[in-house]
Amino acid sequence: MSEDRINAEAGLPQSSANNGSFDQISRVFEVLDRKVKLNPLVKIKEALVSLKDESGSEINVRNESTVFGFDTNALVNIGNQAKSDDIIDFLKRQKNVVIPGQVIQETWNVINKRTQNQNLNNIKKMQKEDVESIRNLLGDDKSRHASELLQELRNLYEEYQPQTDTKYLNSLISTISSLEATAICPFVPRDSFLQLAEARNKTNTPPGFRDTDKNHGDYFVWADFLLGVYILDNPSIENIVLVTNDTKNDWSTKGVTHPILGAEVEALCKKRFQLWDLKHFSDYVKLNIDSNHLQ
């Protein structure tokens, strides 16, 4: 009896062509399911110190020893950056880039969102003093932080804007083309990982427990990303960076990465993890270009 068949009968994830070996998929599953020991005390201490010192992610990583991954909200907006051509050229030269499979699905979904809910138009017009009205409109009674809620609403509004103009599509095509030859785009098996997603959501395990639609999109971005990280892992890799503009606290707080995310990456591959927003990544690309010009 084959290894995949044995594990299928046991309800474990199976290998998938071009999406990592059985051992790689199983390792990611075990980390997410806490069958691998984490070191959360160290990570939460580091996060608390960063929060106290107001020090976010560092920018001094070597690109040749770093795995870069991109969330949907970062990937679709690369072309909107002031130096988008520089970013695209930079990505063409990278050997360690992960575009989670979930991100590709969501990218197409963003392109095809052509209609706007009238409530979103109302949200855009609301001011900071209307936080209670916004909370009531969304039915998000658990939200405690007005600034985070407002940012989440702005992100939601932007997400639902139709992105079909020629200039935008050309920039997105350029971005995808720059990644086509070098990036990997892994998917974890959906069925077995979905059961785990529901357990993590019920226990407020990041990321994804702040998603209002409960479709586990952020979780699958993370799971696909971790699989890509593990596929690319080798002794020369020192840092893992995921670029996202998501500001919900199931990813980060005031620029400090949720400690559980760092603990999961460390348990997976013993590497340091950072979350960057797209501006942070753009600044990093600029620094690399400037340093290369000086050499």
List, run by run, the mean pLDDT of 10-residue segments along the chain (295 residues): 44 56 96 96 95 78 93 93 92 95 92 52 55 62 58 61 71 92 95 94 90 84 98 96 94 94 97 95 88 52
The DSSP result for 140-173, as a single string, is -TT---HHHHHHHHHHHHHHTS----HHHHHHHH
Nearest-angstrom CA–CA distance, 264 and 120? 35
Q: Which domain holds residue 120?
A: 115-161
Residues 125 and 254 in one domain: no
Q: What is the CATH number of the domain that holds 240?
A: 3.40.50.1010
CB-side exposure of 103: number of CA atoms within 13 Å?
A: 26
Number of independent structural domains in the chain? 2
Q: Pairing mode, if any, of strands 256-257 and 252-253?
A: antiparallel
Nearest-angstrom CA–CA distance, 243 and 66? 12
Nearest-angstrom CA–CA distance, 159 and 146? 20
pLDDT of res. 110: 81
Nearest-angstrom CA–CA distance, 104 and 87? 19
Nearest-angstrom CA–CA distance, 134 and 103? 28
Residues 58 and 145 in one domain: no
102 token code pair: 């979930």
Residues 155 and 61 in one domain: no
Measured in whole angstroms, the distance separating CA 33 from the mean position of its chain's CA atoms is 19
Nearest-angstrom CA–CA distance, 175 and 180? 9
Residues 218 and 289 in one domain: yes
Residues 108 and 120 in one domain: no
Domain-terminating residue out of 130, 161, 192 = 161
pLDDT of res. 9: 43
Residues 8 and 63 in one domain: yes
pLDDT of res. 11: 52
Give the CA angle between residues 73, 78, 83 to the nearest 5°. Answer: 150
134 token code pair: 């916004």
227 token code pair: 């699989």
Say whether 228 sits in a helix, a strand or coil.
helix
pLDDT of res. 169: 87
Residues 98 and 68 in one domain: yes
Helix 217-232 and helix 22-32, axial crossing angle in degrees, nearest 10 = 130
pLDDT of res. 243: 97
Nearest-angstrom CA–CA distance, 239 and 243? 13
The DSSP result for 73-111, as a single string, is HHHTTGGGSTTHHHHHHHHHT-S-EE--HHHHHHHHHHH
Residues contacting 28, CB < 8 A, separation 6+ = 20, 188, 223, 226, 227, 230, 268
Residues 133 and 193 in one domain: no
Peptide bond before 207: cis, by omega within 30 degrees of 0?
A: yes
pLDDT of res. 156: 60
pTM greater than 0.85 (yes/no): no
255 token code pair: 């620029």
Place of tokens 């069958």: 35
Residues 276 and 186 in one domain: yes
